[in-house]
Amino acid sequence: MADKIMQRVSVNDSGTWVGTPKDFLDLGSREAVDQALSRLVKRGQLRRVGHGLYDRPGISKVLNRPAPVDLDAAIAALIRRDGVRVMPDGMVAAHQLGLTNAVPARVSYVTDGHSRTLKIDGRTVRFRHAGPSVMRWAGRPSAPVVQALRWLGPRAAEDARIVSTLSRRLPNNMKRDLLQNSRDLPGWALPLVHSITSDQAVMA
């Protein structure tokens, strides 16, 4: 069982994939999978990075020790395991897009699952339940932009720097997605989105 699990894990480069017991249940019973994962952790072949979360860590060339877990891969594992949708919260998205210098005190996401706080590789990760009007953007290319705009609020519509930054940085597929789904945005955001996507409107 342990060998089969490692064969599956090794398809991915070290540090790029996080798995849960559910990912291996086609190989055997839950008890057998749990026992095999425990043995692999004791051998140092896998690392337990959270409750029911395992990875094969990469090595930091700078520090010459196991690198921190790939948080995106850990979130993807939770999505697979729990059957939920997840998006970064507004401040995180705004920071990633260069719209704010505010650094989130902790990593936060919104989800259509339950609100909860988890420890992943020593980091506190918060998941906050959000309603359908927010989660309908999950999986869409423009989801980070919408999340950032919701966090910034109506004053963003009056800030020329927001338009300039997003017009310059957003790839065309995100702009097209924003334009095509603008009906799902709050009214105050529409003029801002039309300015950001003006080049797409011309192309169309």
204: pLDDT strictly greater than 50: no
- Confidence label for 103 from pLDDT (cuts 50, 70 and 90): confident
Give the per-residue pLDDT at 156: 83
Structure tokens at 99: 């719209």
17: pLDDT strictly greater than 80: yes
Quick: pLDDT tens for 165-193.
999 999 999 999 999 998 888 899 999 99
Sheet holding 123-129, edge to edge: 86-88, 107-111, 123-129, 116-120
Q: Would you state the torsion angle of the CA atoms of residues 129, 91, 198, 161, taken in this order, to the nearest 10 degrees?
A: 160
Give the per-residue pLDDT at 201: 53
Q: Which comes out higher in pLDDT, residue 204 or 18?
A: 18
Structure tokens at 29: 């019973």
Q: What is the mean pLDDT of the chain?
A: 91
Rounded Cα distance between 63 and 165, Å, is 35
Task: Classify the C-alpha dihedral 17-21-59-67 as positive or negative.
Answer: positive
State mean pLDDT over 81-98. 92
Q: Which comes out higher in pLDDT, residue 3 or 157?
A: 3
